[in-house]
């Protein structure tokens, strides 16, 4: 790949962090020295490709070392084409093959890795075997792996598990009330997801509050196309809303969230759906999209709800109800709450959602300064003066945290 402009030589190790989500694929190139810094660093290059439906159009944005934004639209026939389209547009691509390490967020690696690990054949097979449990994510992550190998042959590649942050949850929180053989034989238990985001935003909120993370009871709300909550105490996750797959928990953009198992049995037994079609509907046609009949995009839901659309209004209300109820459950697991943290696309940008969620949580000491929140720019505290628990907005920096975790492992290995 030809450079677009002269690049200064890197002063530290280069990490290309890749993050495939349910409606986007993001990547960023970080230069990380030794010792690995705690504070997030600016990327030498970063980009994202996002879509609403595939086949269809996708928006591609990128920013290079000159901090100039580039925006374009491309057509995607398959979601697995997205990583290649984005990475092929990357400035400083030659630095990846020369000095870089690629690190990929893996949503569901089964019961495989707790910390960043080198991508080997056995690791890849574990990711492939868990694809049915995270169909929107694992195939996209592996497409990112293949795109890196194709564009920059020989580049070292690592994975970071998105469940690792929740790995030591208490058994009472991670165990399903099903025959114990299900866990022994198939590893079925509550794994939790969005761990990279929850871990980062909990640590970042402690920094903002000027207190050690281990001294705080923190509820983090990762609200995007996929949504989950987590409870952090003594610096570790003790509870979360997602389970063995990213389908459990809150209502999401297109995913149903928690559902009475009897409903699925009813539909299967009566031949209304087969397993594949039911999986598709619960992952792609439910959540905000299913309730509203319009869209899984919260921006569209808010706009049409304000215009009086009953389906959008109900979708918004269900979403808020689930989040508010979940916060109460997380606070109960913690035995109180010191900080409530919003992150993710909805969490950071949707003032109406934050306002509605926090309304009614006064019994937990949560009170929002509505005027401050309406003009908030993360990272910031938007609590009212009367609040005993702080409400924070933290920008999701998953690509930075992916790169940082891998850099820490390499730093320890070389010590």
Residue numbers annotated as active site: 162
- β-pair partners for 31: 14
The answer to whether the beta carbons of residues 167 and 114 sit under 8 Å apart is yes
The tokens of 375 are what? 């003009």
Q: Is the dihedral of CA 41, 193, 406, 399 positive or negative?
A: negative
**Count of residues in the chain:** 415
Distance (Å, whole) CA 277 – CA 275: 6
SS3 250: coil
The neighbouring-strand residues paired with 15 are: 30, 101
Two tokens at 268?
């299967």
For 391, the enclosing helix (H) or strand (E) is strand 390-393
CA dist 274 and 353 (Å) reads 35
DSSP state of 177: S
Q: What whole-number distance in Å separates Cα of residue 141 and Cα of residue 123?
A: 13
Q: 269: buried, middle or exposed (CB in 10 Å: 19+, 13-18, 0-12)?
A: exposed
**295: which strand partners?**
none
Tokens of 200: 């980062």
């Amino acid at each position: 790949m030809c450079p677009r402009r002269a690049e200064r030589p890197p002063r530290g190790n280069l990490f290309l962090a890749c993050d495939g989500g349910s409606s986007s694929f993001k990547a960023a190139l970080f230069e990380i020295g030794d010792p690995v810094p705690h504070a997030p660093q600016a990327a030498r290059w970063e980009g994202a490709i996002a879509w609403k439906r595939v086949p269809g159009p996708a928006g591609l944005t990128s920013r290079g070392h000159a901090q100039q934004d580039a925006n374009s639209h491309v057509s995607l026939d398959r979601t697995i084409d997205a990583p290649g389209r984005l990475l092929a547009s990357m400035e400083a691509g030659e630095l990846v093959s020369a000095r870089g390490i690629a690190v990929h967020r893996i949503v569901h690696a089964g019961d495989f890795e707790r910390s960043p690990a080198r991508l080997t054949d056995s690791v890849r097979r574990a990711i492939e075997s868990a694809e049915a449990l995270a169909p929107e994510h694992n195939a996209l992550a592996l497409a990112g792996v293949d795109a890196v190998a194709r564009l920059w042959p020989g580049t070292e590649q690592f994975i970071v598990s998105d469940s690792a942050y929740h790995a030591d949850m208490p058994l009472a929180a991670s165990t399903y009330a099903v025959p114990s053989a299900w866990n022994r034989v198939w590893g079925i238990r509550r794994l939790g997801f969005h761990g990279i985001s929850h871990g980062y935003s909990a640590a970042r909120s402690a920094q903002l509050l000027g207190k050690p993370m281990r001294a705080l009871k923190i509820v983090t709300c990762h609200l995007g196309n996929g949504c989950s909550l987590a409870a952090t105490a003594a610096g570790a996750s003790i509870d979360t809303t997602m389970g063995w797959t990213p389908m459990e928990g809150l209502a999401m953009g297109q995913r149903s969230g928690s559902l009475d198992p009897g409903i699925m049995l009813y539909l299967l037994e009566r031949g209304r759906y087969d397993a594949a079609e039911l999986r598709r509907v619960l992952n792609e046609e439910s959540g905000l999209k299913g309730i509203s009949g319009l869209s899984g995009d919260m921006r569209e839901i808010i706009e049409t709800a304000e215009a009086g659309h009953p389906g959008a209004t109900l979708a918004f209300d269900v979403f808020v109800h689930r989040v508010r109820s979940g916060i109460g459950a997380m606070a109960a697991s913690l035995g109180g709450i010191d900080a409530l943290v919003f992150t993710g696309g909805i969490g950071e940008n949707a003032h109406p959602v934050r306002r509605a969620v926090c309304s009614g949580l006064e019994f937990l000491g949560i009170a929002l300064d509505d005027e401050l929140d309406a003009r908030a720019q993360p990272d910031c505290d938007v609590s009212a003066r009367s609040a005993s628990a702080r409400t924070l907005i933290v920008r999701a920096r998953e690509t930075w945290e992916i790169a940082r975790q891998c850099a820490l492992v390499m730093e320890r290995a070389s010590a």
